[in-house]
Amino acid sequence: MLSFLAVLIDGTIYASWLFLVAAGLTVIYGVMRILNMAHGSFYAIGAYAAASAIGWYFADGTGSAGVSFLILIGAALVAGLVVGTLVERGLLRFMYGRDETLMVIITYALLLILEDAMKIVFGVNPYFAYQPYTALGRSTIAGLKVSNYDLVLIGIAVAVGLALWGWLERTNLGKILRAVIHDREVARAMGVNVRRMFTLTFLIGTTLGALAGALTAPSISVVPGIGVEVIVLAFAVVVVGGMGSIEGAAVGALLLGLSRAAAVHFAPQFELFVIYGVMSLVLAIRPQGLFGRTLVRKI
Amino acid sequence: MRLDKTELALVGLAVVLMLAGTLAAPGWLIFLITVALAKALVVQGVVMQMKAGLVSFGQGLFYCVGGYAVGMGGQFLGLNAGLVLLALGVIAAVVLAMVLGLLLTRYREIFFAMLSLAFSMILYGVLVKSQELGSTDGFNVKAWTLLGRTIEGGEQATHTVFILTVLTAATVAFILHRFYRSAMGMTCEAIRENEVRVEFLGLSPRWINYANYVAAAAVSALGGGLTALATGHVDPDMAYWTTSGEFVFIALLGGTGSVFAPFLAAIVFALVRTYAIEFLPNAWQMILGFTLLGIVVFLPKGLWSLFTRRAVAPVPSSSPTNARTGGVRA
């Protein structure tokens, strides 16, 4: 019973993290039809920015947890917006309209560039930003010690999910975006500035990626290569849920998060295997993912 | 058997390479070219699928299977004949591809790319967690024999693997060259151009893709096996997705224009990487990234198009009949 509860708690924490990481990826794919291989790099950039900012804030050894949270989020916003703008204005806008597979390769090139850019800017030594994590302490749920920071993470993931959903479903701008998702050409014919929507979406996506990285930074050591590890997990979530679907990403994250937590507790040798195993299983049964739309083939 | 120009060039180049390699070139260069050619075989597998319009971001799976088969054959089965070990890798890859292909051939474009990536990451996950296979460190390949001769370390081993690799690469390239011009090879390109029309012509794109996928797996496993023999070591990184990304990179660098292209691209890639790591250890990926962007924008058909551009250019632009019937693509 206790281990069942542990799986539930660990799984939910891991799922919220997965959702935060995957949300930006699925938003970008949904609107722009770009499978952004460089998404992990935005995650890493967010983590580095947050770790640097936290290190600077706690440089004299004191500081409050509340302010450090604001710093985390602020660092993510700045990093995501600045790098996102640079990438979108400087590279991607010249590539719009190309084949989806080619866009994968272009963003792969972007990933290679950003990986080394980070090494040059931040160096190769690890960064630590543990202060917000330790400052919040732990609480006990039914005999299990759980870090409060992880519980806050669950709250943030839910908030981000609801905000995205509300924005897409309940606002005018969201409605316009859904029109672009549904049919780009018709939306353009109706007077939607599709390119501006692309810029907006890309910035939101990169900022979400950076936010995920910034919020993860306190619980890991920030080293080169963290983005490369994360991107395949984010892919798995998005593919399971159905590419471009927010609800799908949430369900996919929960499914994968709980499966992984179960694997960690009951069969640790299958920890990595289980995520891709579940992904392959879902795709074998529903090729378009749980919430994906089937596409009609055009001649 | 009549040989065309490409095939003659292939035979000639293999002979020249073997002579130059064993007689004149320094050891490090022979080793570099051996590994590059072996990896180029994996790239040939990627190119085979690219010709059918599919980009595999998981070809490292078969690279790894081929490599681990060579390592495990020596470690656990007591096999030490090099050719048997290579064959073992190919058989393992073919069996695996026949199973995975059933699922993968239902997918196209990015879904194919992602699912093939997921499969190779599954293997990575399994290998990382298996202690008896050395976990993340991998393990060393045991001493092996070639046609009864034991291959010890040192210069003799380097030369033997080099010749074995050149011969294998040339043979595979020869077969692939014929395959691309066969009915099935041509159909693969037709599938890339328009799959639904191919279906309407009464062919099954799915089964052609399936056969192509399995064949590509075999070729890639051969590359993995040769790499294992050349480096004497295998580790799970062979199946990590960045390794597969490297193969896609080399495939695009060379282009799909000729069976020579992957070999050329792999050698260029290996040389550039060796020097880039030497001089700019923290910026060589960035150089690769910009190179990739440059290729996508300026040389979409790869380095090989530098050699063929002149031959393609004179196609008359004012031949409406040819254009309307689809014509023959150069």
Distance between CA atoms of A47 and A212, rounded to whole angstroms? 8
CA distances from B279 to A116, B29, B175, B257 (A): 14, 18, 39, 32
Tell me the pLDDT tens digit for each residue of B32-52: 888 999 999 999 999 999 888
Quote the pLDDT of residue B218: 94
Q: In which band, very low, low, confident or very high, does the pLDDT at A124 lie, cut at 50, 70 and 90?
A: confident
Q: Decide if B117 and A111 are in contact by the 8 Å CB cutoff.
A: no
Closest CA to A122 of A211, A29, A216, A48: A48
- Cβ-contact A218, A47 below 8 angstroms: no
Residue A144 lies in a domain: yes
**How many angstroms away from the CA of B109 is the closest CA of chain A?**
6
Q: A100-104, B100-104, B116-120, B251-255: lowest mean pLDDT where? A: A100-104
Domain count within chain A: 1
Establish if B196 touches chain A: CB-CB under 8 angstroms. Answer: yes
Q: Please name every residue paired with A138 in a beta bridge, in sequence order, or none if there are none.
A: A147
Quote the pLDDT of residue A1: 63
Q: Where are the domains of chain B?
A: 5-247
Q: In which band, very low, low, confident or very high, does the pLDDT at B110 lie, cut at 50, 70 and 90?
A: confident
Helix and strand numbers, DSSP H then E, in chain B: 14, 4
Range of the domain at A99: 24-224
At residue B189, does pLDDT exceed 60? yes
At residue A290, does pLDDT exceed 70? yes
Q: Which of A232, A233, A256 to mutate to test the interface with B (most CBs of B within 10 A)?
A: A232
Q: Decide if A109 and B57 are in contact by the 8 Å CB cutoff.
A: no
CA distances from B204 to A26, A212, B300 (A): 33, 44, 29
In this prediction, what percent of chain A has a pLDDT beyond 90?
7
CA distances from B107 to A1, A286, B35 (A): 41, 11, 32
Q: Which of A36, A106, A107, A108 to mutate to test the interface with B (most CBs of B within 10 A)?
A: A108
> Cα torsion for B190, B191, B194, B197, to the nearest 10°?
90
For residue B122, which residues of chain A lie inside 8 Å, CB to CB? 272-273, 276-277, 280
Residue A274 lies in a domain: no
- Cβ burial of A143 (10 Å; 0-12, 13-18, 19+) is exposed
> Which ipTM score applies to this complex?
0.81
Q: Decide if A112 and B292 are in contact by the 8 Å CB cutoff.
A: yes
Q: Decide if B118 and A280 are in contact by the 8 Å CB cutoff.
A: yes
Residue A1 lies in a domain: no
Establish if B242 touches chain A: CB-CB under 8 angstroms. Answer: yes
Distance between CA atoms of A169 and A105, rounded to whole angstroms? 32
Quote the pLDDT of residue B325: 39
Quickly tell me which residue has 């609800």 as its tokens: A247
CB neighbours of A198 closer than 8 A, spacing ≥ 6? Answer: A31, A32, A88, A93, A96
CB neighbours of A108 closer than 8 A, spacing ≥ 6? Answer: A37, A38, B245, B248, B249, B292
Q: Give, in degrees to the nearest 5, the angle at Cα A26 between A22 and A29.
A: 140
Closest CA to B169 of B280, B261, B53, B278: B261
Residue A149 lies in a domain: yes
Quote the pLDDT of residue A294: 62
The H or E element spanning position B319 is none
Crossing angle between the packed helical segments B60-76 and B241-254, to the nearest 10 degrees: 120
Residue A59 lies in a domain: yes
pTM for this prediction: 0.82
DSSP labels, A18-77 = HHHHHHHHHHHHHHH----TTHHHHHHHHHHHHHHHHHHHTTTS---HHHHHHHHHHHHH
For residue B288, which residues of chain A lie inside 8 Å, CB to CB? 109, 112
Establish if A236 touches chain B: CB-CB under 8 angstroms. Answer: yes
At residue B313, does pLDDT exceed 60? no
| Residue A222: DSSP 8-state | B
Q: Decide if B103 and A272 are in contact by the 8 Å CB cutoff.
A: no
Mean pLDDT of B185-192: 86
At residue B85, does pLDDT exceed 60? yes
